[in-house]
Structure 1
Amino acid sequence: MNIYELMRIFIEIVEAGSFSQAAENLQIHRPAVTKALQQLEQHCGVRLLHRTTRRINLTPEGEEFYRNSKPLLEQTDDLLGSFSTDRALCGQLRVDMPVAIASLLVVPNLPDFYRSYPGVEIILSSSDRRRDMLRDGLDCVLRVGALEDGDYVARKMMNVRLVTCASPAYLAEYGTPETLDDLQHHQGVNWFNISSRQIMPWVFQSSSGIEEIHLPGKLVLDNSEVYVSAGLAGLGLLQGMDFFLRPHIATGRLVEVLPNNPVPARTLSVLYPHRHISPKVRVFTQWLETLLKVLC
């Protein structure tokens, strides 16, 4: 095999998480995958992976090789594709985004994307936890809010409006808060940030600036869909993305509160593991940006 193919197999091993899955994805025999890695390690003169019977882990040299070889391979594919008579985009695109954005915005509109790019296969993971793009082999990630320091390239897509609300049953029992001082008599469904291991404060705009408040509550969650379910069940006030809560407000299942103390908007960003952006990633993020501006 040439070095180009060895690199491709190595990247597939890392992103698939196993030799067997990599062989299946590439439609080659399992021994060929093992031999390819051995040849690549011999060529590099270092061990790239720690291998056990159950899992694989990148060595520090392997992480560096993966980080630099993936964009190089993508640029090579793009170059070769530019001379092809059939320039239709094809291949896998690995994306991660928050549950709310995936379930309410992206997935329902994916048929439109596939009509334009039928050859692209999207591997979409949706979670409200931070993902390691290098370790998980992701091409891009969507994130809402402040970004942590990391080895990635970030681009702002838009500002997302947030809203505070509660169910009619909750308001009937506890009353409707009219001021921020009233919140000391209320219950909040609190949000737990897995990355920081902290319960997130509630944020409001007031005449004196931005205020952070810690609401008492009996329930702390880290999943946005369960979070909304808790609010609908009357377990406390909610504070979240407007597009996620607005359908329930429109039907009367939730009621917006504290309109005079709006929640500061948060930034929606797209993150890339490196500066080289493949055509697949570029067309997907452009489509996504247009979609979000229309629907949000």
Structure 2
Amino acid sequence: MDVLGLISTFIRVVENGSIAAAARAKGMSPAAVSQSLSRLETHLGVRLISRTTRSMTLTENGKRYFEKVRHIPHDIEIASQAAAFETKPQGPLCIATTAAFGRYVLAPLMPAFQNAFPDINIELISTDRNVDHRLEGVDVSIRIEAQLNDQLIARKIASLPFIFCAAPAYLNHAGIPQTPEELSQHACLVFRYPTDGRFLPWTFMINGQPVNAKLNPTFISDDIDIIAKIAANGGGIARLASFVAQPLINNGQLMPLFCSGHRGESKIESLPMNIYACVNERSALNSKVRAFIEFLERAM
């Protein structure tokens, strides 16, 4: 008995809403679809769909079974494509990334990637808005944790530190905070996440426990480069990804804070920025996507 074929037919019936519609989608007769359902129900020993000449309704057993098996055909397709051997990754590769990560991390790496894989043609979408893989033809997206959702298969590829920092001129007149609690007494430059308007919290690990610092937001922006420039010009304290902050620290425009890690009896650490490579669950991890993800992991 071809159980996978019976399951595929059952899924088509549920997704199309009727036996007739499923038959058209599969290129089968309605009678053959109905017989497949009956064979599957006999195999399982339960009724999956209550059907009359005018309507059909999933039973409770049918609902539970559908939730368990609905991904099987797709998973088989992904496994088949992943197993296919491609000697040379090639063709168009559309990558979506957050604006700052694209500007500071991906862009400098792209020439080396293209040298390693000259037959891959890259399109890079750099934006902080939510990108729809299917509608926009995105093969892989690079996302931070706040952007993840259940529609994506995510693979963590790196953890990068956040750095709390301010310009020497600001610290000279406002003082240097020694604990996260003191941030409420300072001018804080806060990033507002553009997709949903949230402030990304300033989270510390204090003695192994996560603590969100109470802030005094004196400036808010959805552009991290603007925040970095305001901080470098003495506007206040910013929390920046290391790839944004470090060049400004190296040239003396910013000074890092809380970098000793210990204050009295407390150990203070900043939570890192976790970076994920994501593919749509309806897309295969083909050779060019795998090549890019593995290249980025090695580079980082």
TM-score range, shorter chain: 0.5 to 0.7
Contact 1:189–1:217 (Cα < 8 Å) also in 2: yes
The letter for the 1-side match of 2:271 is P
Contact 1:201–1:214 (Cα < 8 Å) also in 2: no
Distance 1:151 1:208 in 2: 31
* Post-superposition CA distance 1:211-239 (Å, at most 9, x none): 10231123211122222112112221111
The match for 2:201 is: 201
Cα 1:147/1:126, change in 2 over 3 Å:
closer
* 1:88 CA drift (Å): 3.5
Contact 1:158–1:267 (Cα < 8 Å) also in 2: yes
Distance 2:248 2:141 in 1: 27
Asked if 1:262 corresponds to 2:269, the answer is yes
Alignment equivalent of 1:288, drawn from 274, 293, 296: 296
Distance 2:297 2:230 in 1: 30
Contact 2:130–2:147 (Cα < 8 Å) also in 1: no
Give 3-state SS (helix, strand or coil) of 1:193's partner.
Answer: coil
Q: Percent of aligned positions with the same letter in both sequences?
A: 22
* 1:153 CA drift (Å): 0.8
Distance 2:88 2:148 in 1: 36
RMSD (CA atoms): 2.8
Give 3-state SS (helix, strand or coil) of 2:239's partner.
Answer: strand
Matched residue count: 222
The match for 1:151 is: 151
TM-score by length of 2: 0.66
Distance 2:219 2:178 in 1: 23
Distance 2:208 2:105 in 1: 35
Matches within 5 A, 1:214-225: 214-225=214-225
The match for 2:131 is: 131
* 1:176 CA drift (Å): 0.9
The letter for the 2-side match of 1:161 is P
TM-score by length of 1: 0.67
Give 3-state SS (helix, strand or coil) of 1:262's partner.
Answer: strand
The letter for the 1-side match of 2:174 is Y
Asked if 1:112 corresponds to 2:112, the answer is yes
Distance 2:269 2:251 in 1: 21
Spell out structure 1 runs of 4+ moving beyond 4 A.
75-79
The letter for the 1-side match of 2:190 is N
* 1:44 CA drift (Å): 5.9
The match for 2:287 is: 279
The match for 2:192 is: 192
Distance 2:155 2:81 in 1: 24
Asked if 1:166 corresponds to 2:166, the answer is yes
Q: Which runs of 5+ in 2 are unaligned?
A: 1-23, 27-72, 262-267
Q: Which runs of 5+ in 1 are unaligned?
A: 1-42, 46-67
The letter for the 1-side match of 2:273 is R
Distance 1:104 1:148 in 2: 21
Distance 1:239 1:231 in 2: 10
